[in-house]
Amino acid sequence: MADGAIGETGLFKPRDQAEAGIETGSVNGPARAAAQLTHSLILEDPGKLVIARFNSFAERYGQWRERISLHLSGIDFAPDLAEDIGSVRWFRGAGTMFGLAAVAALFWPDFAPVEAAAPMSVNDAQRDEFRSQMIMPLALGGDSGRHMAATSAVIPLQSAPERPQIELVATLGQGDSFARMLQRAGVGSSEANRVVSLISGAMPLSDIAAGTKVDMVLGRRVSPTQPRPLDSLSFRARFDLELALERRGGALALDPRPIRVDSTPLRIRGKVGASVYRSARGAGAPARAVQDYLRTLASQYDLDSALGPNDEFDMVVSYKRAATGEVETGQLLYAGVIRNGKPKTQLMRWGKDGQFFEASGVGEQRSGLLAPVPGRVTSSFGMRRHPILGYTRMHAGMDFKASYGTPIYAVSDGTVAFAGRHGGHGNFVKLNHGGGLGTGYAHMSRIAVNAGQRVRRGQVIGYVGSTGLSTGPHLHYEMYRGGKVVNPASVQFVTRATLSGKDLANFKAQLGRLLQVQPGAALASLAPPESDVDAPRREIERVDRPRMLR
Ligand SMILES: [Zn+2]
C-alpha cells in the first residue's frame, strides 16, 4: 500500500492533526477546528496589539470593530447540526434554526396567490362603446357599429305599405262550412259564396273531409276598407281529386285536377311461423288489418287449431293509392288460411252488414247466446211462490241479479217486436230472432230501442230497473218458441246466414276476383307507362340517341 503510506506521512496530512497544539478541545471535529483556527491566527494575542498609539477615530472604530468581532467569534451561532446530536450545543443550534425559520415565516405576507393589477371596471355603456369600435367577425353576429339617428333627409311614411299578396293555409274544421272557413281567412262574403257555388258544381261540399287544408292566395285590395280578393285557391277535395280556383281575366275559374288512383286491393300472404301478428306485420300488413284478420278467424274458429305455424296466412285488405303517393288502407276483405298448399279457410266480407261468409256462401256461425246482463241467475224457470202475489204459480222466465241501470244486451241478432209498457212486465222489450224464436226482457228502468228496429247481438236494448211487478232491480228474461214461453236454459241459438241464388253467384264472382289479386300487386309503381313519356325534344338528344343505342 505505497499510496496510503505517502498520504499519511507527507502531503495530505489532515489539518486538525497538524494544528492540534493551538486548540485544546478534546472533542474537536474537523470543522470546528478550522473555524477556531481562523480567529486565533488573526488575533494571536490581543494584548500584543499596540492601539494606544493611534488615537484617531478610525483607530477607535477599528478597535471597537475588532472587539465586537472577537466577542461574536466567541458565540457559536451556527453549529453543525449533523454533529453531537442531542448535546446542549446542538439544541441551541436547532433552536436558532427554528427561531430564524419562524421569523422568516412571520415575514411571509400571505399564502394567497399574489394579486395582479386590478382589472379595469367597464360599465355597459363603455362596453358598447368598445364593441362599436371593434371589428367583429360576421360569424359572431357582426353587431359592431352604431345606428345612425335619422337626419333631416329622412321623411316618415304616411302609412306602412300593404303586402301585395298574402299566402295562407286554412283548415276546414269539424262541422265547419266551406264558406265560413273562407270568410275566416279574410275572403269577402260574396266571393266566398261564389267559390262555394263553383266547388259544389264539381262535387258535393259535404264530401270534403274535416281537416282538409286549403291553400289560398289573397291579392291586393282596392281600398283598406274592403276585403282582399281571392287570387287562387287549391285543395285536395277527395282522395282522387284536387280542385284549384284561379282568377282569370277578373273572374274565378274552377280547374279540377283528377288524381290517378289505383284501388287494387292489397293481398298479403306469408307463413304463420311463431306469431301471425309478427309475420304479417313483417310482410307489410297494416296493424289494423292483422287485428281484423285474427278477430275474424277467432269469431268462427278456434284459433289454436285454425292456424298452425306451418300454415300460410292470406289476407286481402281494401287499399287505395294515389299517383301523388298517398295511401288509404280500408277494411279487411278476405281472410284465408292455406294448409299444405290448399285453402283451408276462406272467409270473405259480404253484404251491407260486413259479415264474413265462407267460400260456400255460409255466413258466420254465431253459436250460443250472450248473457243479457252480467249477473247470476237468482230464480230459474218453473213453478215457484210469487214474491208479490203470494201464491204458487209458473215463473215464465229467468231472473238475473243486476243493479239498477246495468245495460241489457240483445242475446242474438233480431228485430224488436215490442218495446214499451207491458202490464206486470213493466218496461218490456221483446225481440224476434227468426226461426220462431224470441226473447223478452222485463222490468227495465229505461228502454233503448224502438219497435221494428233491427238489433245486433250484444247491442244495448235497455237498462235494468224495477218497473212492473217487481220487488227490486233485476232482469226478468223470457224466451219463446213459436209464440209459447219456453225455458231459456233449454235453447241454444245457432244463427247462420246462408247466401243463395243471385246473391251467392255475386258472392262467388267477387271472391274469384279477390283471389286473382297477386300478393304485392298493389305495391307496384304507379308511374305512368313508358309510352306516355315524352320523346326527347332537344336536337342534341336526337343526335345522341343512335350513339346510345349502339
Ligand atoms: Zn222473473
Are 416 and 459 within 8 A, CB to CB? no
Interval between CA 456 and ligand 1 midpoint (Å): 24
pLDDT at 121 over 90: no
Rounded Cα–Cα distance for residues 312 and 301 (Å) = 16
Interval between CA 396 and ligand 1 midpoint (Å): 7
Q: What is the helix (H) or strand (E) element at residue 321, kind and residue range?
A: strand 312-322
**Residue 485 vs residue 141, higher pLDDT:** 485
Q: Name the band, by pLDDT with cuts 50, 70 and 90, for residue 38.
A: low
Interval between CA 470 and ligand 1 midpoint (Å): 8
Please return the burial class of 466, using the count of CB atoms within 10 Å of its CB with bins 0-12, 13-18 and 19+: middle
**Bridge partner list, 334:** 316, 348
Interval between CA 462 and ligand 1 midpoint (Å): 16
Q: Name the band, by pLDDT with cuts 50, 70 and 90, for residue 136.
A: low
Q: What's the pLDDT score for residue 366?
A: 58
- How does DSSP classify residue 203? S
- Domains, the chain: 14-105 (no CATH), 166-258 (3.10.450.350), 268-367 (3.10.450.350), 377-492 (2.70.70.10)
Interval between CA 478 and ligand 1 midpoint (Å): 8
Interval between CA 410 and ligand 1 midpoint (Å): 17
Ligand 1 (ion): which residues have CB within 5 A? Answer: 399, 476
Interval between CA 475 and ligand 1 midpoint (Å): 7
Angle ∠(71,76,77) on CA atoms, nearest 5: 105
Are 412 and 366 within 8 A, CB to CB? yes
Q: What's the pLDDT score for residue 147?
A: 62
Interval between CA 371 and ligand 1 midpoint (Å): 15
Interval between CA 326 and ligand 1 midpoint (Å): 58
Interval between CA 455 and ligand 1 midpoint (Å): 23
Q: What's the pLDDT score for residue 5?
A: 40
Q: What is the mean pLDDT of the chain?
A: 79
Interval between CA 381 and ligand 1 midpoint (Å): 8
Q: Considering only CA atoms, which of 274, 265, 243, 397 is closest in space to residue 327?
A: 265
The per-residue pLDDT for range 335-388, each reduced to its tens digit, is 889 888 888 888 888 877 777 888 877 776 555 677 788 778 888 888 777 767
The per-residue pLDDT for range 203-243, each reduced to its tens digit, is 888 888 889 999 999 988 888 788 888 999 999 888 888 89
Interval between CA 387 and ligand 1 midpoint (Å): 10
Interval between CA 441 and ligand 1 midpoint (Å): 10
Rounded Cα–Cα distance for residues 412 and 431 (Å) = 9
